Structures are given as structure tokens and as C-alpha cells.
Structure 1
Amino acid sequence: MQVTETKAEGLKREIEIVVPASDLEARLQTRLFEAKDRVQLKGFRPGKVPVSHLRKMYGKSLMAEIVNQILTETPNSIIADRKERAAMRPEIAMTEDEKEADKVLSGESDFKFTLSYETLPDFDLKDTSGIKIERPIVEVSDAEVDEQVERIAENARTYEEKDGAAEKGDKVTIDFVGKIDGEAFEGGTAEAADLVIGSGRFIPGFEDQLVGAKAGEEKTVDVSFPDDYGAEHLAGKAASFDVTVKAVQAPADTAIDDEMAKKLGLESLDKLKEIVRDQIQSQYGMATRQKVKRQLLDALDKEYDFALPEKLVEAEFTNIWNQVQRELTENNKTFEDEDTTEEKARTDYRKLAERRVRLGLVLSEIGEKAGVEVGEDEMQRALFEQMRRYPGQEQEILKMFQENPEAIQSIRAPLYEEKVVDHLLGQVEVTDKTVTKEELMAEDEAEAEATDEA
């Protein structure tokens, strides 16, 4: 096999490989002799089929298998021999001329093909001990816990049948048929729907018109869908609903005490408050983690500047751009609505793609040098979590991950990244700073405009 480098420009490489016809013939002869003892053909005793006859019948198909094996095995071995690391799977180019291809399969010609790929860049890791991180911490107040417990009590509230007209806070059970220009529209009909008046669940103005209604009463409710309503064919349209009130119920008194907690399956109100506090703290903890991680990545981004594999950047940009396009379509918006242009957005998101690729390579190198690994048990937990998201489709999801290495990598990569971040946080200087909930969330909103993590 002859291997010749034909291009070495920056990170780009092009390698020409020539497998002589004599080498192909030797491999074919081996295959034919292996098949000789296995093939059973009419008119020949087992193991007595002439090799020449086998070649005539199966030569081209066996040679095609040999060529495919070469294409599968050779690229990685050549790149490894060159002590390089390909950024993405190498591209393979070979003749598209049918006559030339037939000569290869017939053993009359050398097999030539070309590998094109980009190498991962070489760079020196920088000292991270001088990085300083400020970790925002929110202390959960008793008032915030009590407020959340009150919400839980409200959601667990029971209702009792009442005589008389419905008031704000009452629950009504209704049948309704929505119409636009006298015609019923899709999604505008329901039976035995429960609605708490004042909850804001229905179209603005709908619930207010049910105040004073009694069980058994029929009403016509006139409303207009908001201009920004999610269903585009209904947005801004005037509609009327024929409503039949089936029942009216008043909220029962709900005391926030141990008995309420027991109805929720807990032993006491104190236990409920403990769980609520942990949940709130966990939510703040996730926001804090994002702030800390962002500071760390910003610090790393300032330290590194090296050439990036163009195809990696392009692949990352495509992922980002497709997501942006989906969000614009789902929200029925344009770039102009976001105070930008498509050209400027492309420029900004390409810079984001470059940042993500650069930081991804840096974190990968740091993790490799530090011996960071994702354990099999961690992968199993992450896979199980993915399966839980699709009830009834668990086996299909499991099969997809088992058969698709790229899908498995999509689970492993974020786990690996978080473990590398944890490793780095153990090396840098981290100082805690107590902030208010409003300060923490205000930072979130400001930074959400540019999602710039690796």
C-alpha cells in the first residue's frame, strides 16, 4: 500500500492511498481458499469446487467486500500511524467511473482513493490557578418557603357543591362550544371542563363572564383571542362560546398544618417545609452553577486562541442556526423582531460556534490530561433519564442509543464536560457572595440573550 500526502495546509490534510492490484489479488486468493471448503455447489463434492470456478462466480462480490474492508479499516490506521487526530470522520473520494471501478473489482487495476480531513489543533494548556470565580449564593428565607407551601395548599384545595351564583375563586364545571363567525372551530369544544374563576387559565374575559352563573344555566360568552395567541388561525379573532354550567363549587377551607401535610403523604408540616426548602435551594443551585460555569468558561476563552477545524465549526454553527430558525418559526417571529438582521445574526452565531468548539477542545484536553472519565454507571443513569422522557417508547429509545454511536456521544459529552468543570473548580479560586433572588435571576435574564457556554 502506497500512502502519499498531497496536502498539508494548516489543519487540512489530504492523503492519496494506492492499493496495488497484486495486494488485492493476494487478499482475494485468501478469500477464495477460505470459501472453497464452505461453498456447496451442485455438481461438486464439498471442498472440491475449483478456485477458478469460485473466482468466476464470486470474484467480483468478494473483491467488493475487500474494497469495503480497506475503506473501513485504512483511514483510522493511517491517521494513527501519522500520530494525528482527525477532527471529524475523514471524507473518502474514489473514482466514479464505472469502467475504472470494474477494473478494480476484476483485479485488473490498482485501487486508488483519497482521504481528506482536518486534524485537531495542538496547543499548550495554560495554568488555571490564577483564575478567580465569584459564586453567587441565595439564602432561602422562611417567607419564601411559606409562600411556596401556600401555593401547594392552594393546588391541593378541595371544593364543595354550593347553591347560588358562582363567585371569583369558585370552581365551575362547564360544557362549551366555541364559534367564529357562527362556525365551530377546532379545539374550541369541551365537556365537563373544570375551571376556577380567576385562575387566568382561559382567554382573557372568559372567566369574568361566568361570575354570577348558576348550575344548569346556559350563557353565551363573547371574547377576542389575543393578537399573540399561540394558534395563528385564531390570533386576534372574535369568538363566542355557548356555555352550559354543569356545577358550581366553592373552595373548602384549607388549613396549613400537619393534617394537610399528611394528605400529601408526608408526616408533618415541618417535613413539607424541609422538602420545599430543598427544592428552592436546588433551583437556585442550578442558577448558581450556570453563573460559576460561565465565569470559568469566559476566563478560559480569554486564555486560548488557536486555529480551529473549519468543519467542526461549520457543524456547530449548523446546529445553532437550525435551533434559531426553529424558535423563530415556533414564535412566529423574524430577525427584525429581534432587532437584528439575518446577516448580523449569522456573524454572531458563527462567533458563538467558534467559541463553543474552542472551549470544547480545551476542556477535552484538560480532562484527558487530568484522567477525567465518565463511568458506566453514570452513562446508565443518563440513558435511563433519556428513556423516561418518552413513556411507552423506552425500548425504541434504548435501541437507538445502542445502535448509534453519535447518540451515545450526545449523552457522554455533557457528562464529561461537567466533570471537567468540577475538576477545574477544584483548582481555581472560588469566593462565595450572598445575593438576593432578584439579583441572581436578573443576571440570568441578561445573560440569556447570548447562550455562550461550550
Structure 2
Amino acid sequence: MNFNVEKKENNIVTFKAEIEEDKFERAIDRAYLKIRNKFNVAGFRKGKAPKKIIELNYGESIFYEEALNILLPEAYEEAVKELELEPVDQPQVDIEQLEKGKPVILKLDVTVKPEVKLGDYKSIEIEKAKYNVTEEDVKKEIENMQDMNSRLIDADDKEAENGDILTINFEGYMDGEKFEGGTAENQNLELGSKKFIPGFEEQLIGKKVGEKVDVNVKFPDDYFEEKLRSKDALFKVEIKEIKIKEKPKLDDEFAKDVSEFDTLDELKSSIKEKLEKEAKDKEKVENETKAIEKLMEISEVEIPEVMIDRQIDDEVSEFDYRLKMQGLSLDKYFEFANTSLEKLKEQFKERSGNKVKSDLVLGELAKQENIQATEEEIDKEIEKIAAEYNPKDTEKFKEDVKKGDLEWIKSGIIKDKAIELLIKNVKFV
């Protein structure tokens, strides 16, 4: 096959593929064998009519389309390899010549990975993220554990205050009419948790069991349900129960009850160690993010829209998966949040564009520095994935992974090594 590039512009390569007539003839023979059962020819059992007879009855070009379907993937794969293209979308194909006894001439337009003009990553300066773990942080963590292990006891005739757990019934009114979704019974509410509309919880402080309270609020401007945004509402609230938290005493017995440690000091040390690790991880992620953003800022690349669209589709699929893990479908989410697929995609657009650009600039960095994924690194990553996803039978899982395409594992390793190299060259100020 012969390939001739005509032009390259806006990340689209236009080239012609010329397929020799003998290859086209062989493809026609393959097409005949593949689809001959579809034709009924008088005097022959179905699928037994010779190729020439079928062509006489249905026209000489009857097998051309199927022959092209056979040839095109082979021709395209060969062209991509020979012309050293990196396609990011399916090609658009025009047939320029398709005649018996002549070469087949096809014109193809394909969007390719854009060229990246990489900025000087060795001159990047960023402010280093630093998070220190204090005794106050450890104290808050202990208090959270204490709170989670509290007992709820009836408050009798006590006035409600922050930290109390109320059981309430309420009905919501807007312009004197009940509105949909504004009514509930036996709803639990911890005062001070700020889980209700701003101003709602504060109006229940000082109230007692059995009291009925008119709570006046205004829905936030950014409330998730669009039709309620910025609206004034009245909630008629009845307090059914008030419970207070009886927290356990902070001592060695508490440590034994809530952890594997024998003393409170050991528990505190463990918590501090955990928080310090989380702080280091947070610093690492933030520093890497800043460095990548700076590299993107000083690099130049024209991103094809199709790459952003595909990343948006990936984001939507991931979002859909997370919803399903919570027992919610995408359609139900759209109904609940009063939104649509188009609006969701629009929300993901900027993030998707940044994700594509970061991958491109890091890929160019890896290319310029000849960063590769070694067999040892690939095996180690597969081992890690197997332990995470199938710890009971890691060997079988590893075998299954190795049978598939390992490109996603290789690209992940290369990207991590590119980020590592970038961070090594960053000047922290």
C-alpha cells in the first residue's frame, strides 16, 4: 500500500491511501465467502451460488462495500505505523477511486495528538506546601472518637442547645402553600451541625419537647434545587424528643474500648502518627498539583476538542459509577438535582480540559527525558493492583491482567516518574 500525506493543520492529518488492485480483488473474494449466504439466486441453494453468478444478478459492485470493510482497518493500521501518527479519534474516510482493475484510492482525515511546546520545567518556582500537626489536631481527633462513642439519653425537660439531638416533625410553606419536599416526620437533627438551611437550627435553641415553633428561613442563592433558591419559607416545627450525648471518660479504658492500644497515651501517639502521614500526603499532592499547573502555564499546546469530549465522557462515567455505589442512578440524580446530562458535562469541561493538558505536557516531558516503564516496575504495579482488588487470589488476578493490554499500567508508571522528575527540578520558595 502507498500513503501520501497531503497536509497537516489544526491537529488534523489528511493523507491518501492507495491499495493495489490485486489486494482489492483478494478482499472481494473474502467478502464473497463472508456474505454469500445473504443472497438468493435461482437454481442454487442459499450460499452456494458462485461469485460471478451473484455479481451478474446483483451487480459487479455488490461485494465492494464489504471488501472495503475488510481492507480499511488493515490499511489504516499500516498507515498509522508508516506515517508515525498518534490518532486520538476515528478517521473520516472518503472514497476517491473504486473501480474494478484499478487501485482503490481513499482519502482520510484523522485527528492526531497535538504537538506540545514544553516550557522550561527546570526553572519552575513554587511556594512549598507545609502542614504541621499540632496537639490541638490530636485533641480534636480524640474528641471525635469520644463523640462517636457517646450514648444518647433523654433530656427530659431540658431546653435544647448546641450538641443536642432533636427528633422533629416539620411542614414547609412558601407563600402560604406547602411546597414539595418540605415535609418530614421523625427527622433527627443535631443542633450546631449546620446540616439544615442556615438559620433553621438556631431558632430551635432554648425550646423544649412538645413545643411548636415557627421557623422562618431564606433558601441560599446556590441551593441545589433551583426553584427554591433565594426563596423565603416558613417551617412549622414540632419538637418530639431531645436527647443529649453522654460522652465516655477519656482514660486508658476508653483507649482499650475504641482501639487496639492499652493506654490513652499510646492511642494519642498513634493518632499523631496517622495525622502526620496524612499531612505529608497532602503536602505531596499539593506540591505536585502546583508544579503541574505551573508547567501547564508555561507550556503551549492546542488541544483537539475531541480529546476534551472524551475526557468529559470518562468523568461522567466515573460519576455514574460513584452514584451506583450509593444506590442512585444518573437519571435519578438529574431529577433530584434538577439538572441534565448537558449541564453535567458543562460542569466537567474545565476540569477535563486541564486533565488532558496536564497529561499532554507530562507526556512530552517523559518523551524528552526518555522516561520508560521497566518490566520490574510493571510487575510491581500489577502486584499492587492485585493486592487491592483481589487479595484472596492475587496470582490469578495477575495472570488475567497480564493477558490484557498493559498500556494503561505503563502510562501510569511513566506519568508518575515524570511528576517525580518535575518535582526534583522544582525550586521551592
Normalised by the size of structure 1, how large is the TM-score?
0.64
Give the Cα separation in 1 of the matches to 2:186 and 2:383.
43
Give the Cα separation in 2 of the matches to 1:212 and 1:415.
58
1:182 lines up with 2:169 in the alignment: no
Give the Cα separation in 2 of the matches to 1:12 and 1:204.
53
- Please show how residues 261-410 of structure 1 align to structure 2 within 5 Å: 261-264=255-258, 266-268=260-262, 269-270=264-265, 272-294=267-289, 296-297=291-292, 308=301, 310=302, 312-315=303-306, 356=358, 359-365=361-367, 369-371=371-373, 375=378, 378=381
**Preserved CA contact (<8 Å) 1:382 1:411:** no
Letter in 2 for 1:421: I
Give the Cα separation in 2 of the matches to 1:115 and 1:371.
33
Letter in 2 for 1:75: Y
- Please show how residues 197-236 of structure 1 align to structure 2 within 5 Å: 197-236=191-230
Deviation of residue 428 (structure 1)?
4.3
Q: Show the counterpart of 1:152.
A: 145
**Preserved CA contact (<8 Å) 1:313 1:353:** no
Give the Cα separation in 2 of the matches to 1:45 and 1:13.
48
Letter in 2 for 1:28: I
Q: Show the counterpart of 2:396.
A: none
Give the Cα separation in 2 of the matches to 1:371 and 1:412.
6
SS at match of 1:179: strand
Which of 245, 252, 273 is 2:239 aligned to? 245
1:420 lines up with 2:421 in the alignment: no
Deviation of residue 77 (structure 1)?
0.9
**Preserved CA contact (<8 Å) 2:371 2:417:** no
Deviation of residue 185 (structure 1)?
1.4
- Please show how residues 116-155 of structure 1 align to structure 2 within 5 Å: 116-117=109-110, 136-155=129-148
**Preserved CA contact (<8 Å) 2:191 2:202:** yes
Deviation of residue 45 (structure 1)?
7.9
Going from structure 1 to structure 2, the CA distance change for 1:45 and 1:363 (only over 3 Å counts) comes to same
**Preserved CA contact (<8 Å) 1:215 1:248:** yes
Going from structure 1 to structure 2, the CA distance change for 1:118 and 1:40 (only over 3 Å counts) comes to closer
**Preserved CA contact (<8 Å) 1:160 1:250:** yes
SS at match of 1:293: helix
Give the Cα separation in 1 of the matches to 2:307 and 2:46.
56
Q: How many residues align?
A: 382
Percent identity between matched residues is 25
How big is each residue's C-alpha offset from its partner over 1:61-89, in whole Å with a ceiling of 9 and x where there is no partner?
Answer: 6432320122212122123123x232524
Shifted more, 66-75 versus 291-300: the winner is 291-300
1:70 lines up with 2:71 in the alignment: yes
Give the Cα separation in 2 of the matches to 1:242 and 1:299.
53
SS at match of 1:375: helix
Going from structure 1 to structure 2, the CA distance change for 1:319 and 1:152 (only over 3 Å counts) comes to farther
Shifted more, 63-72 versus 196-205: the winner is 196-205
SS at match of 1:360: helix
**Preserved CA contact (<8 Å) 2:157 2:208:** yes
- Please show how residues 19-98 of structure 1 align to structure 2 within 5 Å: 19-32=19-32, 49-53=49-53, 55=55, 62-82=63-83, 84-89=84-89, 91-95=91-95
Q: Show the counterpart of 2:346.
A: none
SS at match of 2:26: helix
Give the Cα separation in 2 of the matches to 1:144 and 1:10.
53
**Preserved CA contact (<8 Å) 1:170 1:196:** yes
Q: Show the counterpart of 2:108.
A: 115
Going from structure 1 to structure 2, the CA distance change for 1:27 and 1:148 (only over 3 Å counts) comes to same
Going from structure 1 to structure 2, the CA distance change for 1:8 and 1:409 (only over 3 Å counts) comes to same
Letter in 1 for 2:207: A
Deviation of residue 94 (structure 1)?
0.9
Going from structure 1 to structure 2, the CA distance change for 1:208 and 1:60 (only over 3 Å counts) comes to same
Going from structure 1 to structure 2, the CA distance change for 1:411 and 1:180 (only over 3 Å counts) comes to farther
How big is each residue's C-alpha offset from its partner over 1:282-319, in whole Å with a ceiling of 9 and x where there is no partner?
Answer: 442233223432465477669866xx5x4x34445668
Give the Cα separation in 2 of the matches to 1:355 and 1:166.
57
Q: Show the counterpart of 2:398.
A: none
How big is each residue's C-alpha offset from its partner over 1:31-63, in whole Å with a ceiling of 9 and x where there is no partner?
Answer: 5468889x9999668997534335557886643
Give the Cα separation in 2 of the matches to 1:60 and 1:225.
68
Normalised by the size of structure 2, how large is the TM-score?
0.67
1:260 lines up with 2:254 in the alignment: yes
SS at match of 1:273: helix
Give the Cα separation in 2 of the matches to 1:47 and 1:319.
42
**Preserved CA contact (<8 Å) 1:214 1:245:** yes
Give the Cα separation in 2 of the matches to 1:182 and 1:67.
70
Q: Show the counterpart of 1:396.
A: none
Deviation of residue 160 (structure 1)?
0.5
Letter in 2 for 1:362: E
Q: Show the counterpart of 1:6.
A: 6
Going from structure 1 to structure 2, the CA distance change for 1:113 and 1:379 (only over 3 Å counts) comes to farther
How big is each residue's C-alpha offset from its partner over 1:412-431, in whole Å with a ceiling of 9 and x where there is no partner?
Answer: 75564224323555x64888
Can you give the 5+ residue segments of structure 2 that lack an aligned partner in the other structure? 316-336, 340-348, 390-404
How big is each residue's C-alpha offset from its partner over 1:86-143, in whole Å with a ceiling of 9 and x where there is no partner?
Answer: 25246333149xxx8xx65xx4765332123466678999998898888544342233
Letter in 2 for 1:50: P
Give the Cα separation in 1 of the matches to 2:46 and 2:197.
81
Going from structure 1 to structure 2, the CA distance change for 1:291 and 1:30 (only over 3 Å counts) comes to closer
